[in-house]
Amino acid sequence: LNKAILNIFKKQFAVSLSYIAVFRVRTLEGIIFNKPFKIDTLRLLKKNIIKDKLYNKVKRRL
């Protein structure tokens, strides 16, 4: 993506969508955040994505 307007919030239906959207934008200049948020929110999103990936990997082995 070249540009995106994003709204990051803690409770989401699909937690990984915001995290992925932020990192799909090619430059920092291309990102506009609709509302202020704490950077820890992105860190939490990343942590949850890692947990989900591990869970899915283990689940597929069973």
1-50 pLDDT, tens digit per residue, is 899 998 877 566 665 677 778 889 999 899 998 888 788 877 877 787 88
| Domains held by the chain: number | 1
15 DSSP assignment:
T
Range of the domain at 21: 4-61
Cα–Cα distance for residue pair 3/50, rounded to 1 Å: 26
For residue 52, give the 3-state DSSP assignment.
Answer: helix
- pLDDT of residue 53 exceeding 90: no
pLDDT of res. 19? 74
